[in-house]
């Protein structure tokens, strides 16, 4: 049975515009401020990744982890989120938007919200994430907290739908 996703905000998701402080040297952008974080959201690690043009990461979800994605450029990204939490007031909602070099933003994704992003710009794109769980736990000794829907043949999570 196909899920009929509704367009709309998702409970617990935060999309906050970022300001770039630009001068003749380049620019600076604050990616994390504890005074701007939702209650209970605090990073435990930070990583950066490069995604090639046209490449999609996800969709996947985490059981316990919340992500704090920073899209500041270079390049732009289509971000798609699906509320897959049956107890959520916004269960069944989907959000789609483009952020990055042309519209820098932080996207906070709570646990249980399926998420994916695709580089829709014409150059390699940088994404920084400050999740609230350590990847594979302390000392990389725990299972990865990830449900990879991109590996499912009949996944209801379609980046293009």
Token couple for 2: 């196909």
Please give the residue range of the domain that contains residue 146: 6-20+43-151
pTM score, whole prediction:
0.91
pLDDT at residue 19, as a whole number: 92
Q: Residues 65-89: what's their mean pLDDT?
A: 96
* Structure confidence by residue, pLDDT tens digits, 11-34: 999 999 999 999 898 889 999 888
Token couple for 52: 């090639």
pLDDT at residue 12, as a whole number: 93
**The domain that contains 120 carries what CATH number?**
2.60.120.10
* Structure confidence by residue, pLDDT tens digits, 111-147: 999 999 999 999 999 999 999 988 887 888 888 889 9
- 120, 77 Cβ separation under 8 angstroms: yes
Residue 32 in any domain: the answer is no
Residue 27 in any domain: the answer is no
**Residue 80: how many CB atoms within 10 A of its CB?**
22
Burial class of residue 99, CB neighbours in 10 A (0-12, 13-18, 19+): buried
Residue 75 in any domain: the answer is yes
- Count of domains observed in the chain: 1
Q: Please provide the average confidence, as pLDDT, over all residues in the chain.
A: 93
């Amino acid at each position: 049975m196909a899920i009929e996703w509704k367009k709309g905000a998702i409970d617990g998701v935060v999309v906050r515009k970022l300001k770039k402080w630009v001068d003749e040297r380049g620019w600076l952008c604050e990616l994390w401020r504890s005074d701007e974080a939702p209650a209970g959201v605090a990073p435990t690690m930070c990583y950066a990744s490069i995604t090639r043009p046209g490449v999609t990461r996800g969709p996947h979800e985490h059981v316990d982890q919340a992500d704090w994605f920073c899209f500041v450029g270079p390049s732009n990204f289509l971000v798609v989120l699906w509320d897959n939490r049956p107890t959520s007031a916004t269960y069944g909602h989907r959000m789609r938007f483009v952020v990055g070099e042309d519209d820098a933003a932080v996207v906070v994704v709570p646990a249980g919200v399926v998420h994916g992003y695709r580089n829709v710009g014409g150059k390699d794109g940088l994404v920084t994430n400050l999740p609230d769980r350590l990847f594979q736990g302390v000392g990389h000794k725990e299972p990865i907290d990830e449900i990879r829907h991109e590996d499912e043949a009949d996944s209801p999570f379609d980046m293009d739908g």
